[in-house]
Structure 1
Amino acid sequence: MTPLHLSISGRDQARLRAAAAIAALTALPVLSLAALPGAAHAAALRSPALYAPRHDRQPQTVNVAMSNSGFTLPAQVNAGFVTFATTTADPTGHALQGFRLNAGVTQAKALQDLKQATSTTPSVSAAGITAATKDITAVGGATVDPATPVQVTIPLTAGTYYFLDFNQLFTPGHQVTLQTMQVTGAFDSDTPAHDQEIVQTTVNGRPRFTAPSTLNTAGTFLISNQADEIHEAVFQRVNPGVTDTAVQTFFNAVGQNQKPTGNPFAEQGMRGAGGISPGRTELLHFSPPAGSYSLECFVPDDKTGVPHAFLGMHQVVALSAVNGPVGAGRGGGVRAGDTRELALGAGLTAAAALLGGLALLRRRAAAKA
């Protein structure tokens, strides 16, 4: 089989995800964010329904302007729900991700895990994400592009948290900068109101989304990780009429190191919510242009190192801003055991070698082509 040939330059190449074949077809870079793993969170934060829905104590807001030069955060915030209002002017976008160290883990060990998880060797990537799952609690973040500011609201209890621009992990020779933020005091805010829910789950051993087929971007989405691996929730616009079958067919071809017969994607950029550990939640509010999008997770599988999207964790949804409530009809996604999924075995292993990495996995295809 002839590998895909991409034309991607230094810094842009470092920002690509597993579906970099899209860039192969368009010769443009693709951005998205990695998802990080972590330990279970306090039970009260796992289920926002446990809070009385008063919604009178609003989340604190932290404005985060991300650039190639970095970003800044306040040194301290109060415990509670904190909204990270994230923007960027850089065409290739940025990826804010927060985490907390689990007991006995150092910053150096955490960064070692993450760098290993972004390896272009799938077995190394799987080992890295497995280690990170034990060492880090991922609290969420935002993938942002210039056209779409992203607000992600995260429940934070007292403690020390670290935030980074995940793209730095893929810039050769670049030292990763961690921003430290202390969270102090008792948890003092009510669960923010939300309009619809996106569930990250597992069906018959395969990672899946369960989400409404139409999402109202005039509202806020609760993202809930009910699976046993780390997941993200990023959106990439697809061409009119594209189905989950077409998206999976594209991933199948790339996974088998074949040139796709068509490109379901209408753009290279992505935006959405960063990685959260099992049992955690985050809230997403953003206003991308109306249209059809593929909701995707590119976190690598902890056994194979293959991105979850290639295993069927994608769902075509309609995004639009409308007045009034939106019906909660469930969308499709690839069914567990669907024969249209990636064929496991040698073909998938070769795909993993081509694709790899932690959520910015498109980079692997560019590096190996």
Structure 2
Amino acid sequence: MRRRLLRSTLVLAATGAVLVGGGPAALAGGDHGHGRDVQTVHVVGNGTAASVDDDHVHAGTVRFEVSSVAPAFSAVTMFQLKNGATLDQFFDDVRKEFHPTDLSVRAEGTRDARRHATFYGLADVVPGVPLAVTENLRPGTYWLMDLTTPPDPVNDPPVTRFRVTGGGSGGDGSRHADVRVRLTDDRFLAPRVWPRAGTWWLTNADDTLHFMLLQPVQPGTTERQVQQALEASGGGSVGDLADPTRPPVGSEVISPGVRHAVDYDLPPGRYVLLCFVADEGDGMSHAVMGMHRVIDLR
């Protein structure tokens, strides 16, 4: 769920980034023991679609190793339809949320998307900087897509079906977490200092959709400067505060009550956490409403 301006900003930032790791095989943040004892699915985004090497797993703990072969950036999103919704309805919701000018249509898109689907992430990634996302999944049919660009007005975006069957139990990776982030009241509750490599555990304790982008910014960037830049851009970019030498990554759209853990390995420096989902009431991006938090990775 993004504004077009945000997408173009991320593509530019990712294109100029100095990437860490050796490619899709280089797992973010080690694996903290996850990879040796849970089901693992490799997910690859190409800027248009997301593919998997295994589309059928058992219920319980699943580790998704997410990478990108796109020219710059992939927004790999996993969702499950609910309340009898169809994929066509869901695609219409997303098109509304991406409306280029009408805030009321964007707000309607967010409301409808929350009603018609449950979002589980997965991750925003750039080539050479994978993330590993650990989820605890129940049986059912899930769908994966690369939501890097807004859906075409006529043609539906490609999706990949992912099936979870049988019984099973497990954790969501929280016991391995180095950093815990809580989304509530349209704010990030998170430490100001994170390790440069480790595991963040994200939980959406709010009543609306959110996501969490880690946008690299210039040294010394303050919350006030971020707010001013967001207001100047209309809520879709931090402008010249962005540091194009480091990669932007993050947790994709996540529904209320959903949580997951993400292994990461990033260059040290200052970042800002951002959520650009359109508000359900007035359609403004959550970021310009104050949903941002400056952090340092050391």
Normalised-by-shorter TM-score class: 0.7 to 0.9
| Alpha-carbon displacement from aligned partner over 1:82-110 (angstroms, at most 9, x marks no partner) | 12111123332111101111131111111
1:15–1:302 CA distance, 2 compared to 1 (3 A): closer
1:190-209 to 2 correspondence within 5 Å? 190-192=171-173, 193-202=176-185, 207-209=186-188
Kept in 2, the 8 Å contact 1:17–1:298? The answer is no
Distance in 2 between the 1:57 and 1:142 partners? 21
1:66-105 to 2 correspondence within 5 Å? 66-68=45-47, 70-73=49-52, 74-105=54-85
Match of 1:310 among 273, 288, 293: 288
**1:265 matches 2:242:** yes
Q: Which has the higher strand share?
A: 2
Match of 1:142 among 123, 133, 142: 123
Distance in 2 between the 1:89 and 1:272 partners? 16
CA RMSD of superposed structures (Å): 2.8
SS state of the match for residue 191, structure 2?
coil
> Comparing 70-79 with 116-125, which one deviates more in the overlay?
70-79
Aligned match of 1:189:
170
What residue identity is the alignment partner of 1:264? L
* Bigger-Rg structure (1/2): 1
Kept in 2, the 8 Å contact 1:15–1:167? The answer is no
Distance in 1 between the 2:264 and 2:152 partners? 27
SS state of the match for residue 131, structure 1?
helix
Match of 2:86 among 82, 106, 117: 106
Contiguous gaps of at least 5 residues in structure 2: 15-33
SS state of the match for residue 133, structure 1?
helix
Q: How far is the alpha carbon of 1:15 from its aligned partner? A: 8.2
Q: How far is the alpha carbon of 1:313 from its aligned partner? A: 0.6
Contiguous gaps of at least 5 residues in structure 1: 1-13, 32-54, 321-369
Kept in 2, the 8 Å contact 1:58–1:189? The answer is no
Distance in 1 between the 2:35 and 2:132 partners? 19
Distance in 2 between the 1:188 and 1:94 partners? 30
**1:29 matches 2:12:** yes
1:269–1:216 CA distance, 2 compared to 1 (3 A): closer
The aligned length equals: 274
1:56–1:275 CA distance, 2 compared to 1 (3 A): closer
> Comparing 150-159 with 69-78, which one deviates more in the overlay?
69-78
1:212-361 to 2 correspondence within 5 Å? 212-255=191-234, 263-267=240-244, 270-320=248-298
Kept in 2, the 8 Å contact 1:235–1:271? The answer is yes
Aligned match of 2:26:
none
Kept in 1, the 8 Å contact 2:136–2:171? The answer is no
SS state of the match for residue 108, structure 1?
helix
Distance in 2 between the 1:270 and 1:280 partners? 22
**Identical aligned residues as a percent:** 31
Q: How far is the alpha carbon of 1:217 from its aligned partner? A: 3.5
Kept in 2, the 8 Å contact 1:147–1:288? The answer is no
1:287–1:93 CA distance, 2 compared to 1 (3 A): same
Q: TM-score, normalised by structure 2?
A: 0.83
Q: TM-score, normalised by structure 1?
A: 0.68
What residue identity is the alignment partner of 1:158? P
1:128–1:191 CA distance, 2 compared to 1 (3 A): closer
Aligned match of 1:61:
40
Kept in 1, the 8 Å contact 2:47–2:149? The answer is no
